[in-house]
Amino acid sequence: MSRLGRQINEYTGYNAIEALKGAKNFYKTREDLETSKAKYEETIQVRAEGQRELNGLLQRKSSWTDEDLTRFTALYREEHAYEAAETAARTAHRTAEAAVEQSYTHLVDAIRVRYHEEQVWSDRIRAASTYGTWALMGIHVLLFLVVQSIVEPRKRRKLAERLEASLTEQRHAEEAVLSRRLEALEQSLLVREAQM
């Protein structure tokens, strides 16, 4: 059943549409990957800035004011949120990378299958062309043999018959002329004999 579906898709050209859908899906997943990568890098940057500020506060811990203590506490709480955001962004980025790989694999597989199908059809057409050429050559040889063994002898026989008929007719005509002349000559000889 799936083979029939593939053949119908092939004849209707739907395979090309499927390949285009695969390409579109690949480009969309690549865009999603770029977006997730940018978000991941942004969360790393935000967390790094928070850690720098936290480290700066820790270095001057002996001279903290109440505002510094409040800021340190807030930064420490935010650090956990930044870490969770970074982990989520990393997971999203890895998921997007996997989706791109999978989409790319599907696209390449679709292109490979299409290329293979086109190669198979090309081979079939080439084979049919070769067999067609051999068939035409066989027909030409057969026609040559038929012409040489049947048609040409008939033509020669008819030509010989016509030539023979023409020669016979010409011989009869010449015999008739000759016999008339002989009769005329005999008549003239008889007349001379009678006169003598």
Q: Which of 6-10, 31-35, 107-111 has the lowest average pLDDT? A: 6-10
- 171 within a domain of the structure (yes/no): no
Number of structural domains (the chain) is 1
pLDDT tens-place string over residues 6-30? 676 666 665 666 666 667 777 888 8
- 16 within a domain of the structure (yes/no): yes
- 140 within a domain of the structure (yes/no): no
How far are the Cα atoms of 16, 65, 77, 117 from residue 70, in angstroms, in the given order?
62, 9, 11, 69
- 47 within a domain of the structure (yes/no): yes
Asked if the model's pLDDT at residue 5 lies above 80, the reply is: no
- 105 within a domain of the structure (yes/no): yes
pLDDT tens-place string over residues 176-191? 999 999 998 888 888 8
d(CA 123, CA 139): 24
pTM > 0.75: yes or no: no
pLDDT tens-place string over residues 34-76? 999 999 999 999 989 988 988 888 888 888 888 888 888 888 8
The residue range of the domain holding 10 is 2-134
d(CA 74, CA 66): 12
User: Higher model confidence: residue 117 or residue 19?
Assistant: 117
- 160 within a domain of the structure (yes/no): no
> What CATH number is given to the structural domain containing 17?
1.10.287
User: Higher model confidence: residue 196 or residue 106?
Assistant: 106
- 33 within a domain of the structure (yes/no): yes
- 174 within a domain of the structure (yes/no): no
